Amino acid sequence: MKLTLVILTVIAALPAFAVEPDWSAGVPVPTEGRANIYNWSPEDFLSYQTQGKIHTQVYPVTVTGMLPPYAPVKRLLEEDTRNPFRKWIQGLMKGLSGFKTFNDVLKDLGLHEYPKENERGIYAVPYPNGIRPEELMGFGLIERNGAKGFTFSCAACHSSNLFGKTVLGMTNRFPKANEFFIKAKKIVPLMDPHLFQTYSGATTAERKLLEDAKDHLKAVALKHPIALGLDTSLAQVSLSLNRRAKDPYASFSGWHERFPRADIYLDDKPADSKPAVWWNLKYKNRWLSDGSVLSGNPIFTNLIWNEIGRGADLHELEQWLADNDDIIKELTTAVFSSEAPHITDFYPAEKIDLGRAKAGEQIFNNNCAKCHGRYEKAWDLPYSLVLSSAERLKTVAVRYKEQTPVVNVGTDPHRRLGMKSLEQLNDLAISKKNGIVIKAQEGYVPPPLVGIWARWPYMHNNSIPNLCALLTPTAQRPVTYYSGEALNTETDYDFACAGYPVGAKTPKTWKTRAHLYDTRRVGMSNAGHDINIFIKDGKEILTAEDKRNLIQFLQTL
């Protein structure tokens, strides 16, 4: 008996064992997806998922290339003082950024509040250290050599406010993480580290963080987004790699700070896109909106790209990744197991006409399922009549493709063309060692439509404000529209069209220059996804009634 207890105790103390996924190109994906990507036991799955969600909130890469000192920067922003140097620094920082408090920095970056303690299900997230932070989600501190620096995590771009709930894993409608680097490039080079230390009260260790940030920024190249709501991280990674010597592992002195290599795709062309939702990853075997990442763990890959865009030392990064396999597994588990919000969490189920939704299902299966997969509904279960109205609308199974498709349906090409610049990442030793392969594509992935009701505006470049516009021929779609936060279920969401209210329905407070989306600009075209889909032989095959029914069905996914 004692021996048995000893054996059980030893087994319990052993680390969890995972079945390593096959990340190679073309490996078939079960049509129901891979939510438990490592095939953890139920107990281990919950543990890895929980810890992974914490990593998505507080960036875990301790060797990150950008780690400005927190306390002295906060003091420079917030303290009222007559010291002329500090006032000069404050004026410089405010003049360039408009910030008055450190919390303004976080709000400007589009970060959101942590979910409240009483949230449940997909809206609940484990708090770091078990306590709801005062800062916004996506901000974090890392200690390095006795000083604390601040950085931003996955949640900065991959969490969003949805009618008062913060949804981790959802597209941030207004991500501005790239703006942080743009402003830092203006401010940090003007700061003398020793004067900064003297007049900010920084410690020697904090001064060293600033010196490191100045050095690493030399390897960071940036582009402004073409519109609020779009992200330029693709360009930041590729153009930053172009600032390094031909050997990207070379020392900082090898960076081409003054004479970076030219890029025929990204120097004068946009490749912007919105951050993707996480809950679709489980259904795919190639990643990004164009399916250009053919192999390799996409979470591992994303950390490499993050750090190239932050000017990291690739030797240090490679060692950190090798030493922190558990963190990679935790992050990957959390992202692949992410779930979408359901419309009945925000609207009464009775707003969905069940008869229309069922009719829309048939239209979808006849016209859309071949690209976007099939969705088995609870209303078809033999016991559906005993379910509540909300439960009856739920999807009980998603049947996507074993091989993630890429299709050219005539949408704006700039995002996929820009991926040609990132093919140089295939040459990195860290990519070769970990099976990462990138190949620019001729189209985009028709994604699974789980949670599509909450993913407005539509297309990879946010060019289409709602599903009514998406189901309209290109020539009749809105040329411009205004964007806004999803705060009020009555005014900020057009329920009949599933997305932004447009025209006379647009809230007046949205009508600002920053929130105007103009599809006539390069990279922002709203063309495509109509010919040979719902337009055949020059005529629409869907009536107005068909479209209304189809939208009702899509809102239940």
- What is the pLDDT averaged over residues 294-312? 95
| Nearest in space to 182 (alpha carbons), one of 71, 242, 259, 96 | 96
Residues 232, 189 within the same domain: yes
Q: Indicate the residue type of 357.
A: A
Residues 483, 548 within the same domain: yes
Distance CA 115, CA 345 (A): 15
Least confident of 117-121, 206-210, 412-416: 117-121
pLDDT at 95: 59
Q: ∠ CA(511), CA(512), CA(513), 5° rounding?
A: 130
| Nearest in space to 168 (alpha carbons), one of 157, 176, 154, 158 | 158
302, 336, 370 - which closes a domain:
336
DSSP 262-310: P-TTTSSS---BPPPPSTTGGG-SSBSTT--EEES-HHHHHHHHHHHTT
Residues 408, 295 within the same domain: no
pLDDT at 412: 97
Q: Is residue 32 in some structural domain?
A: no
pTM of the model: 0.93
Distance CA 556, CA 490 (A): 18
Cα dihedral 82/84/86/91 (nearest 10): 100
Q: Indicate the residue type of 160.
A: S
Q: Would you say how long the chain is, in residues?
A: 557
Distance CA 421, CA 128 (A): 37
Kindly give, in sequence order, each residue whose CB lies less than 8 Å from that of residue 362, ignoring residues fewer than 6 positions away: none
Q: Is residue 18 in some structural domain?
A: no
Distance CA 58, CA 5 (A): 38
Burial class of residue 12 in the structure, from the number of CB atoms within 10 Å of its CB (0-12 exposed, 13-18 middle, 19+ buried): exposed
Kindly give, in sequence order, each residue whose CB lies less than 8 Å from that of residue 130, ignoring residues fewer than 6 positions away: none
Q: How many domains does the chain have?
A: 2
Residue ranges of E strands in 289-368:
293-295
Residues 258, 227 within the same domain: yes
pLDDT at 145: 94
Residues 156, 191 within the same domain: yes
Residues 108, 240 within the same domain: yes
Q: Is residue 267 in some structural domain?
A: yes
Band (pLDDT 50/70/90 cuts) for residue 16 is: low
Is 90 exceeded by the pLDDT of residue 186?
A: no
Q: Is residue 12 in some structural domain?
A: no
Band (pLDDT 50/70/90 cuts) for residue 88 is: confident
| Nearest in space to 455 (alpha carbons), one of 412, 516, 492, 500 | 500
Q: Is residue 328 in some structural domain?
A: yes
Please say whether the beta carbons of 195 and 85 come within 8 A. Answer: yes
Per DSSP, 219 falls in state: T
Exposed e or buried b per residue across 134-164, where buried means at least 16 C-beta atoms within 10 angstroms of its C-beta = ebbbbbbebebeebebbbbbbbbbbbbbbbe
Is 50 exceeded by the pLDDT of residue 86?
A: yes
For residue 292, is it left (φ>0), alpha (ψ between -120 and 50) or beta?
Answer: alpha
Burial class of residue 235 in the structure, from the number of CB atoms within 10 Å of its CB (0-12 exposed, 13-18 middle, 19+ buried): buried
**Which residues are 152's β-sheet partners?**
139
Distance CA 463, CA 528 (A): 11
Q: Where are the alpha helices (DSSP H) in 442-543?
A: 467-470
Please say whether the beta carbons of 314 and 430 come within 8 A. Answer: yes
Residues 268, 400 within the same domain: no
For residue 440, is it left (φ>0), alpha (ψ between -120 and 50) or beta?
Answer: beta
> Domain span at residue 301?
47-67+104-336
Band (pLDDT 50/70/90 cuts) for residue 92 is: low
- What is the pLDDT averaged over residues 17-40? 92
**Which residues are 403's β-sheet partners?**
none
Band (pLDDT 50/70/90 cuts) for residue 228 is: very high
Band (pLDDT 50/70/90 cuts) for residue 10 is: very low
DSSP 514-526: TTEEETTSTT---
Q: Indicate the residue type of 171.
A: T
Distance CA 450, CA 69 (A): 41
Residues 389, 274 within the same domain: no
- What is the pLDDT averaged over residues 418-444? 94
Written as six digits, the tokens of 178 are 């790239």
Is 70 exceeded by the pLDDT of residue 9?
A: no
Dihedral of CA 105/111/117/118: which sign? positive
Q: Is residue 375 in some structural domain?
A: yes
Q: Is residue 33 in some structural domain?
A: no
Dihedral of CA 38/41/46/51: which sign? negative
Residues 203, 161 within the same domain: yes
Residues 141, 179 within the same domain: yes
First to last CA, the chain: 53
Q: Is residue 476 in some structural domain?
A: yes
308, 336, 364 - which closes a domain:
336
Host H or E run for residue 364: helix 354-367
Residues 378, 325 within the same domain: no
283, 313, 336 - which closes a domain:
336
With H, G, I as helix, E, B as strand and everything else as coil, classify residue 101: coil
Band (pLDDT 50/70/90 cuts) for residue 255 is: low
| Nearest in space to 434 (alpha carbons), one of 425, 443, 447, 422 | 425
Band (pLDDT 50/70/90 cuts) for residue 7 is: very low
Question: Tens digits of per-residue pLDDT, 448-472?
Answer: 999 999 999 999 999 999 999 999 9
Q: Where are the alpha helices (DSSP H) in 58-100?
A: 70-78, 84-97
- What is the pLDDT averaged over residues 268-292? 96
Residues 282, 383 within the same domain: no
Rg (the chain; Cα; Å): 24
Burial class of residue 439 in the structure, from the number of CB atoms within 10 Å of its CB (0-12 exposed, 13-18 middle, 19+ buried): middle
